[in-house]
Amino acid sequence: MAVTSLIRSDGLLVIRAAIWGRVGRGTRVHLALDTAATETLIRPAVLERVGYGAADAERVTTIHSAVGKERGYLLRIARRWALGFEVREETVHAHELPGLYDIDGLLGLRFLDLFDYTIRSIRDEIDVQLASS
């Protein structure tokens, strides 16, 4: 079981994570836990830092939210480390976020569903273990 500290920021629960491009370039990111989001979303500028762009897209996407429609794209990243675990060849959405939040993206259920987890709000931590079938 891995225990990860949560950062409280503007009413969000944020974790430290990292992503890597195909050529090994990586960057640290701050992602808000979002159990209401199916996919993980990362700002395009962050993806560009590790060598990804719109040319790497598998397809163009549109996200509908309370603030309107936002166009972006779906792509596969070489690897990501979050919550004490590494996942390779993971699909993420490249989309902008409202400027109010100082985060690099959202960690969605496609990643979280790989694990059993317990969020301990009083302790500002999340306990994570690999999900058993």
Q: What is the CATH number of the domain that holds 71?
A: 2.40.70.10
Please report the pLDDT score of residue 93 as a whole number. 93
Backbone angles phi, psi at 131, to 5 degrees: -70, 140
Among 26, 66, 69, residue whose Cα is nearest residue 46? 26
Please report the pLDDT score of residue 67 as a whole number. 65
Please report the pLDDT score of residue 23 as a whole number. 84
Backbone angles phi, psi at 101, to 5 degrees: -110, 140
Please report the pLDDT score of residue 1 as a whole number. 78
Please report the pLDDT score of residue 68 as a whole number. 72
Please report the pLDDT score of residue 112 as a whole number. 93
Which pLDDT tens digits describe the chain residue by residue (133 residues)?
789 999 998 889 999 999 999 888 899 999 999 998 888 999 999 999 999 999 999 999 888 766 677 789 999 999 999 999 999 999 999 998 877 778 999 999 999 999 999 999 999 999 999 877 5
Please report the pLDDT score of residue 66 as a whole number. 64
Q: Which domain holds residue 26?
A: 2-130
State the DSSP H helix or E strand holding residue 61, giving kind and residue range, or none if neither: strand 59-65
State the DSSP H helix or E strand holding residue 75, giving kind and residue range, or none if neither: strand 68-82
CB atoms within 10 A of CB 11: 7
Instruction: Count the domains in the chain.
Output: 1
Predicted TM-score (pTM) of the model is 0.90
Residues 106, 112, 113, CA angle at the centre, nearest 5°? 140
